[in-house]
Structure 1
Amino acid sequence: MVFHNTITAGVFGALTGGFLARFQKDLPLLAGTIAGMIAGLLFSSAAPELLDVGTATISGVLGTFIYFSARGHFRNSWNTNPLGASLLAYASVAALGCISTAILVPVDALETTSRESQLLAQTLGVLVNAGWVVGCGFTLFSILDRKGLVKKVISSSDMASLEESYYERVVLEQAMEDVLAGKVREARPLEIPHGDDYARLTLQFNELLNRLQSEEDRKAITGPHDTHSADFQKLKVFADGTFEGLVISKNGRILEANKAFVELIGRDEHAITGRPILDFVPPDYIKLTQRALKNTHQAPYQSVVLSSTGERIPVEIRARPLELNGIVFRLSAIRDIRQQRKAEAEILHLAQHDMLTDLPNRTLFRDRFHQAVETRATRADLIAVMMIDLDRFKEINDLYGHPIGDKFIQGVSKRLRSCVGHNDTCARLGGDEFAIVQVNLKTKAEVGLLANRILEILSKPIAVTSDITIRTSASIGVALCPDDGEDPDLLLANADMALYKAKEAGRNTFRFFEPEMEAGVRMRRSIEVDLRKAIQQNDLVLHFQPQARVDDRSIVGYEALLRWTHADKGSISPSDFVPVAEESGLIIPIGRWVLDEACRQAAKWPEKCRVSVNLSPIQFCDEYLLQHVEMSLANSGLEPHRLELEVTESVLVYDDHRALSTLKELKRRGVGIALDDFGTGYSSLSYLRRFPFDRLKIDRSFVSGATSDSGLALIIRSVIEMGQALGMEVIAEGVETEAEFDLLRNEGCDEVQGYLIGRPQELTPDDMLDTLHTEAQRKVNANIEALHAVARRLEAFDAPHQARAEPRKLKVTSSA
């Protein structure tokens, strides 16, 4: 019975082993059969006398399955060599076979009364035996090791020599026989063992196999038995004449490469042929290349190849299948894009940086600011955005010119760059506007320290040239994230509001954003919305204030003044809505309407009366300004000399080249030009010499109080003398009293405007008739006064002769 059960378990173990060996790459059929037989015998050896035919069969099959499973687990998971894996697997079969006795043997044949107690006893027995074997083995080897009778290190090759000398030798011999039999294309690379002699041999075999297969594939390209055939040579010459690298490959190995690719990577052609493509790809691009090699039709993609010197060369690769002699290869066109990448980087840099200072421009600044807000490290961190304006920079530009102004901006940018940290961003937004994003802040005090440092460093003189040193200051507005919001656009707007408050505070200072600042913004937005409606509903009107000659007070023109009466809010001052119109761009359509309406009404006035229209600096940015002036004159029929356009000094400072060109063109077409509010802005005398002004207007701030302030009177006299010396007439605004009028007349002023002459009002035909009647009456009264003056002088002349000429005197009086 024991012999019969043992033979049954061994036979079925061998059959199962032979079947499973077919799925093992490193285990031949005979070895698998023998291993299965041993596993079946081990599994059933615990109690073969207690088994029947069925349980013996199950023991053989189950033991073999346990062996193969355990062997694969120890090899793959524990990285154990084949011999060690087999020994551990056999130990597992023996242990589980002993334990399975409690399950497979009938209950009545068990030594205990139940399967549970038998299973516990078997398990304890296995553990005791395992402990005894391991303990004794360990103790024995420790004693022998101390005596120097065993080696301190036992190499894996010694441990595995038995099994590897058989299994792996058989596999390698079989593969070599296939290759020698001419089955090169059918052969496949072998799995490389773990670091023994056979690992080296297997690696060499795989390399040889790859070279043989590559040579076979090259023969399919070059033609059978003639690698220097005429057709191949033509193709080779054509390929070498291209500018792009061409590579023919199969299974990821290079078969042919043209001259351009060889020169690109700086290697000899023979050193390339037959080698894997991945040998010329850096590690971080290997996965990308592997995915590309798996695709038959690969879209163009960018990768990197390695030169012989280790240089990483960016390339663009286009690949497609190529069939030759019935074999499908891969043809890859490889283009060097180093110059393209360099040009792209330069273009991107120019697009994202200010050309004058090389600081990030507005576009890059906004991108970095958005990224900083979105990727704040922790919720406790702060981000600060600073808006910086240089104080009175336009005066510097006007005084020294744009080239010096540009050098000054470069000096400022260097100082700002030195203030910020490595992770912060300093940008030039345009003109004299700069901005800074400060990140990774813990407290608000850090922002204040940076702002003070910027104010301090910018207040120091900057040597622009060897003989020009410029001193200026700055105003700074600051908004914090998340304290003042987490939307980047909102934070920028808040920083702008804080900057405006810093300028209001006297400049050369900084202000943090405060919620109260939003009230002014809301008011401006409300005005803008209402102003748009007013334009659509024609709620804007023109009032006209008369301008008179000083010598006879005759009306010679009117200044058009824009007025707006809101349906709910009543009259809104131009000082409130005109700045809003300029900021929003509404001043362009408003200015066009004012010009049209002023010319239309002035065309109905007497020929001697002109109309004066104010132009905003923003209107000079309108490229159609000249055309619209011509259109307004043509549509109204007003003569060009009866239109006078008033500009302020800010127009000239804003863009003097464009302003000069536009003013000269207007002057050439016969339109009069007046400089308004002279003395309140930059007052550069160079403007009076360079621009073709017809009239100079003295601001009301000089006229008011001139009768009691000798200093103001002296300024008025100087302006009048200067303007007339340059061929311009001078008109004074804001004349409200006879004393002011007399002072201006005595100083030789040409014209006056103010409440004394007339208040701004809408003009109707009746108003014009009243004005003409009043002016005629004033002339009559002036003539009568002149006659009375003559009569008084005659009386004074005739007084000595009164006594002798009494009858004659009575006669004259009577006739009168």
Structure 2
Amino acid sequence: MKILIVDDQTFIREAIKSELVGVDPLQSFIFFEADCGNSAIALLEQSTLNTEPEFDLIITDLKMENGDGLAIINYMATTKSKNIPLVIVSSSDQRTLDLIGNITNSFNLNLVGVFQKPLNVNEVLTLVKTKQFLAHEVPESKAEQTNCNSANIASLLNEDNLFLCYQPKVDIKSNKLIGFEVLSRLTIQGDGFIYPDKFIPLIEQAGLNCQFTRLVVDQAISHWQLFPALKQYGLSINISASDLLSEELINHLIAKHLAASDIQLMLELTESQHTINQERSLQAIAKLIINDIPISLDDFGKSYSTFDRLDSIPFEEIKIDKDFVSDLDFNLQHQAIVESTIALAKKLNVKVVAEGVETLGVLNRLQLLGCHTAQGYYFSPPIEGRYLMTWVNDYNQQGEVKNANH
């Protein structure tokens, strides 16, 4: 295993080498060292000229003279070194480490992690081996291998290929199920899923967003009509700001709602400031609200224009983005953001939904802060439509058992 260690202090480089050998004595290590970013970049440049493979791992400090860790990151982002597993180490505070991690991930580097000194070598090796295992052992589904691109996205977008899943929304105080968010997938001949991060950009580029939204709404409402027991739960469906510019789509949404007024439909708005403040968008939102279709503001806190939107649009609820929620039990900065958001929502008389709830610790923290609703893997991952009623019945039965025991 070829490892490049970059640090301006010799004793730290020696300590890392010694610990690596001690943690995994059966592994054959070949160490390379650099005392600054510029020297490390020179070694990387040299390795690209050699016939031998590049490094298997790079461990670098951040703060160094003659080229810091950021210089190495920038170099790797523009060369074939991009795929080398990278470990970043620093004595900086956690907020700075998070920033560096975000910067590195934005370059799509193979980041193992950003760690505070002293480095836990055993943790690093475990993470590296895990990433290698996932890269080599987890096969892509056939659908992921399908050539889903701008040339064929229109042909893929139909009722046969659209597949809906539902993620529960739970009242934190009572633990009762109150609704579901619709999450879309594309599937081709039953061969696995194509996920939104792959097909949504293609749909938007092709100008098919309104057609896609209409398909999702029609299928979800049909599902709720097929199983009347679901009508006691809310049905939240995502729309984009560009959807608001289509008068035809807005009229279709209103017509569907009027025809199925016993379904608690809510639209979750994901938008950009460029579109949302256009007069046509605001008129569309007003038209939906007048026709008793409430609007939820999705991914609250991710945009600089959040407060402008709260001031101009009467949202029924706001959803705090999962990036602020998932580590709420130990990230003090995110605690402050979530706490202030909930306090603001209370003053505005707006309900709050926390996305990305994955642990009991996070759920308990949200309850202490007065959050209304939670959504995330702690309760359930997205549920395929064919299993939804079974999941609902099981969840409610478990709730009845807990109440009986109390």
TM range (shorter): 0.5 to 0.7
Question: Equivalent of 2:255, from 631, 634, 655?
Answer: 631
CA contact (8 A) 2:245 2:284 kept: no
Q: Equivalent residue of 1:545, what SS?
A: strand
Aligned to 1:733: 355
The alpha carbon displacement at 1:524 in A equals 12
Q: 1:778 to 1:569 in 2, by over 3 A?
A: closer
**Pairs within 5 Å for 1:236-275:** none
Q: What is the letter of the counterpart of residue 238 of structure 2?
A: N
Q: What is the letter of the counterpart of residue 328 of structure 2?
A: A
Work out the CA distance in 2 between the residues paired with 1:652 and 1:720: 26
Question: Equivalent of 2:292, from 659, 670, 676?
Answer: 670
Work out the CA distance in 1 between the residues paired with 2:362 and 2:281: 34
Greater Rg by CA: 1
Q: 1:586 to 1:724 in 2, by over 3 A?
A: same
CA contact (8 A) 1:648 1:678 kept: no
**Pairs within 5 Å for 1:112-131:** none
The alpha carbon displacement at 1:634 in A equals 4.2
Aligned to 2:397: 776
The alpha carbon displacement at 1:550 in A equals 0.1
The alpha carbon displacement at 1:694 in A equals 0.3
1:767 equivalent in alignment to 2:388: yes
Q: 1:524 to 1:777 in 2, by over 3 A?
A: closer
Work out the CA distance in 2 between the residues paired with 1:744 and 1:662: 33
Aligned to 1:800: none
CA deviations on 1:204-261 (whole Å, 9 max, x unpaired) are xxxxxxxxxxxxxxxxxxxxxxxxxxxxxxxxxxxxxxxxxxxxxxxxxxxxxxxxxx
Work out the CA distance in 1 between the residues paired with 2:255 and 2:338: 37
Aligned to 1:540: 162
Aligned to 1:718: 340
CA contact (8 A) 2:168 2:177 kept: yes
**Pairs within 5 Å for 1:324-335:** none
Work out the CA distance in 1 between the residues paired with 2:306 and 2:392: 38
Q: Equivalent residue of 1:624, what SS?
A: helix
CA contact (8 A) 1:649 1:678 kept: no
Q: 1:568 to 1:611 in 2, by over 3 A?
A: closer
Unaligned runs of 5+ in 1: 1-503, 506-522, 786-816
Q: 1:660 to 1:537 in 2, by over 3 A?
A: closer
Q: Equivalent residue of 1:701, what SS?
A: helix
Q: Equivalent residue of 1:712, what SS?
A: helix
Aligned to 1:660: 282
Q: What is the letter of the counterpart of residue 778 of structure 1?
A: G
Q: Equivalent residue of 1:717, what SS?
A: helix
Aligned to 2:314: 692
CA contact (8 A) 2:265 2:293 kept: yes
The alpha carbon displacement at 1:711 in A equals 1.2
1:611 equivalent in alignment to 2:235: yes
Work out the CA distance in 1 between the residues paired with 2:315 and 2:300: 12
Work out the CA distance in 1 between the residues paired with 2:159 and 2:298: 30
The alpha carbon displacement at 1:770 in A equals 4.3
Q: What is the letter of the counterpart of residue 776 of structure 1?
A: Q
Q: 1:638 to 1:763 in 2, by over 3 A?
A: farther
CA contact (8 A) 1:545 1:758 kept: yes
Q: State the aligned residue count.
A: 262
Q: What is the letter of the counterpart of residue 265 of structure 2?
A: L
Work out the CA distance in 2 between the residues paired with 1:550 and 1:579: 34
Work out the CA distance in 1 between the residues paired with 2:223 and 2:199: 24
Q: What is the letter of the counterpart of residue 388 of structure 2?
A: D
CA contact (8 A) 1:663 1:692 kept: no
Q: What is the letter of the counterpart of residue 245 of structure 2?
A: C
Work out the CA distance in 2 between the residues paired with 1:705 and 1:536: 38
- RMSD across aligned positions (CA): 2.5
Q: Equivalent residue of 2:151, what SS?
A: helix
Q: What is the letter of the counterpart of residue 234 of structure 2?
A: R
Q: Equivalent residue of 1:538, what SS?
A: coil
Higher helix share: 1
Work out the CA distance in 1 between the residues paired with 2:285 and 2:159: 32
**Pairs within 5 Å for 1:212-227:** none
Q: Equivalent residue of 1:564, what SS?
A: strand
Question: Equivalent of 1:702, from 320, 324, 347?
Answer: 324
Q: What is the letter of the counterpart of residue 624 of structure 1?
A: E
Q: Using CA pairs under 8 Å that are at least 6 residues apart, name the structure with larger relative contact order, 1 or 2.
A: 2
TM-score under structure 1 length normalisation? 0.31
The alpha carbon displacement at 1:659 in A equals 2.0
Q: 1:768 to 1:525 in 2, by over 3 A?
A: closer
**Pairs within 5 Å for 1:58-69:** none
CA contact (8 A) 2:273 2:305 kept: no
Q: What is the letter of the counterpart of residue 278 of structure 2?
A: D
Aligned to 1:622: 246
Q: 1:673 to 1:528 in 2, by over 3 A?
A: same
Work out the CA distance in 2 between the residues paired with 1:560 and 1:581: 18
Q: Equivalent residue of 2:180, what SS?
A: strand
Work out the CA distance in 1 between the residues paired with 2:381 and 2:262: 26
TM-score under structure 2 length normalisation? 0.60
Identity of aligned residues (%): 29
The alpha carbon displacement at 1:652 in A equals 6.6
The alpha carbon displacement at 1:772 in A equals 2.8
